[in-house]
Amino acid sequence: MHGSGTARSGGTVESGPESGFTQPTLDSFGTPLSEVTFCVVDLETTGLAADACGITEIGAVKVRGGRIIGEFGTLVNPGEPIDPRVTRLTGITDEMVADAPAIAAVLPAFLEFAHGATMVAHNAGFDIGFLRHACELTDTRWPRPPVVDTVVLARRLTEKSEVPNRRLGTLARLFGSEVTPNHRALDDARATVAVLHGLIERATGHGVGTDAELAEFCRAIPSELQKRKRHLADGLPHAPGVYIFRDADDRALYIGVSVDVATRVRSYFSAAEQRRRLRDMLASAERVEVVECAHRLEAGVAELRLISGGKPPYNRAAKFPEHRSWVRLTDEPYPRLQVSRKPPEPGTPRLGPASGTQAQAAISAIEAALPIRSCRTRLSPKRLSPSCVLGEIGKCAEPCRHTVTVEEYGAIAERAARAMDGDPSPVADAIADRLTELSESERFEAAAERRDELGAYLALAVHSHRVRSFVAAGEIVAAGRAKGGGWEVAVIRHGLLAGAVKTPPRVDPMPYIARLRETARAVEPVADAVDAAHAAEARLLLDWLGRPEVRLVTVEGSWASRLDGAGRWEGLVPHDPSPWRR
């Protein structure tokens, strides 16, 4: 079905758009990829479980040598009602499939279309699982074709620095697909073709030139390699620390942390390690460097700093703190809230750091509660600007029309600043009132959106306020009980770990603490986190301080939170609007 909303039986349509992809000629085993026929398939279904749900649409594109040689598309009557949630996602309704052929009629035509081809799908386990189950239901022999999963290939051939995830839409944008995935089978299959060509083009740079080599490239690294590299764990200390896998050029490939480095590194060379990306990493690793630490907290901080500084390719978390976002007010006569990756100036109202999605949700919550403008136009106090619908319905003070003075609007901006730095109750109360209205009018989807925005705002306010008061506190010395006796001591200055030591069992720890304070590194006093990396370290330290076995030794300065601040909302999960009224 080609997006027309009417069913038709599947068939082949000859076509010839060029993708721009060309395959190299390699003298190798297997069939050269330029001669392999790929059948890229996508399904739409009534649910996620192949043994409990039906197929509603099949779309497939057959390609060879970078050319499309045929397409197949049809709606399928699943023989059961389509869940309304699925309909909202795909647009396929019960009426659209009512006159479509059943899977028993469609399946033979599709298998004939795909005969002799290598099957390709994005998250192939899903689509192939449904097709195999359909064969079982209709007593049709499953031909057991070779299968290529573009998700698996994408994990091998793309980095988090390029794409935040391996969803089809994300990869389609990366590889310049002319078709945007839209949860319709044929369009999604066409988009997957562009992804396949882009991934194969990258795979050729890894020496992949045939279908056999492509299959080998998709498989896990053989256990023989793990055995051959096992010597890299020899001689490592059984102590807390950070371990760094390095390649022949001494580049950091992967950084990890453990309370027992030797045991942890050895586990990478066992059958228990099944993560493909780390097995890939081992293929390039030539040595393991260890940074021994006093205890697990120092090791965790060292790992965080090394990953953000070195950005090893096989690490995922904490690698790009500079990509985190902040909520801030713009510096103009009529300020507005904005998401920015640049940390706000010290002492200015802010929320963050956070993901861009969470930051935008927090802004939406504040804008829903206050008449602050949301337009991006830079407004002038000397000339009028075009108005928008928000002003007409009373959701904006309309500074564009000069209905408020700069001073009057400044009071609104000040309320937004207090929503970031002070008491979040006015925002929470306003949204709670709106949630009640939406629920009473049975607008549950809109209510859920407002609830999620409020949850994002409150969580971000809580974390921001905790970090701010912690960083401003100055020096904090704390100690946690060590396994086997003794104390794990940390000197923290303005939200950064300045020194660490583990004291021996059954001795007075205070002399060790005194020497540690003398030798700990100096930290410039600041009132808030200076960047996202600083905030991440502060949160790691705060989590450690919150453990029941950790005791405060000394606190210089004041470490406190406002009684009316966001801290009193910590742990509150917003599901019902009534508890939000404080």
> How confident is the model over 205-214, as a mean pLDDT?
84
How is residue 141 written in tokens? 């022999």
Q: What is the SS3 assignment for 338?
A: strand
Top pLDDT among 232 and 276 is at 232
How is residue 305 written in tokens? 């700093």
pLDDT in tens, 1-42: 333 332 333 333 333 333 333 333 333 357 899 999 999 999
pLDDT value, residue 36: 95
Q: Which of 455, 496, 451, 449 is nearest to 475 (CA)?
A: 496
Strands 325-329 vs 287-292: parallel, antiparallel or unpaired: unpaired
Give residue 274's pLDDT band: very low, low, confident or very high (50, 70, 90).
low
Could you give the CA distance from residue 496 to residue 466 in angstroms, rounded to a whole number? 14
pLDDT value, residue 273: 64
Top pLDDT among 307 and 376 is at 307
Give residue 503's pLDDT band: very low, low, confident or very high (50, 70, 90).
very high
| CATH code of the domain occupying 223-315 | 3.40.1440.10
Per domain, the residue ranges of the chain are 33-218, 223-315, 323-457, 474-557
Euclidean distance between the first and final Cα of the chain, in Å? 54
Backbone φ and ψ for 496, nearest 5 degrees, come out as -125, 145
Could you give the CA distance from residue 513 to residue 503 in angstroms, rounded to a whole number? 9
pLDDT above 50 (res 54): yes
Could you give the CA distance from residue 263 to residue 160 in angstroms, rounded to a whole number? 28
pLDDT above 70 (res 46): yes
pLDDT value, residue 3: 35
Please identify which residue in the block is written with the tokens 């068939």. 11
Could you give the CA distance from residue 248 to residue 232 in angstroms, rounded to a whole number? 13
Residue ranges of E strands in 299-341: 325-329, 337-340
Q: Are 68 and 37 in contact (CB under 8 A)?
A: no
pLDDT value, residue 582: 38
Q: Are 582 and 428 in contact (CB under 8 A)?
A: yes
From 183, 295, 465, 575, active-site residue: 183
> How confident is the model over 498-524, as a mean pLDDT?
96
CA-based torsion, 355, 356, 357, 359: positive or negative: positive
> How confident is the model over 555-574, as a mean pLDDT?
71
Q: Which CATH superfamily is domain 33-218 in?
A: Ribonuclease H-like superfamily/Ribonuclease H (3.30.420.10)
pLDDT above 80 (res 192): yes
> How confident is the model over 469-488, as a mean pLDDT?
94
Mean pLDDT of the chain: 87
pLDDT value, residue 96: 95
How is residue 34 written in tokens? 């330029």
pLDDT value, residue 272: 55
pLDDT above 90 (res 220): no
pLDDT value, residue 579: 37
pLDDT value, residue 580: 40
pLDDT value, residue 581: 40
pLDDT in tens, 124-178: 888 998 999 999 999 999 999 999 999 989 988 888 778 899 999 999 999 999 9
9-23, 348-362, 366-380 — which is least confidently predicted? 9-23
pLDDT in tens, 109-126: 999 999 999 999 998 888
The side-by-side arrangement of strands in the sheet containing 351-354 is: 337-340, 325-329, 351-354
For the entire predicted model, the pTM comes to 0.61
> How confident is the model over 357-381, as a mean pLDDT?
92
Q: What is the SS3 assignment for 136?
A: helix
Three-state secondary structure along 395-406?
CCCCHHHCCCCH
pLDDT in tens, 408-457: 999 999 999 999 998 898 999 999 898 899 989 989 888 989 999 999 99
Q: Is 183 a catalytic residue?
A: yes
pLDDT in tens, 286-303: 999 999 999 999 999 999
Could you give the CA distance from residue 381 to residue 406 in angstroms, rounded to a whole number? 7
pLDDT value, residue 376: 86
pLDDT above 50 (res 572): yes
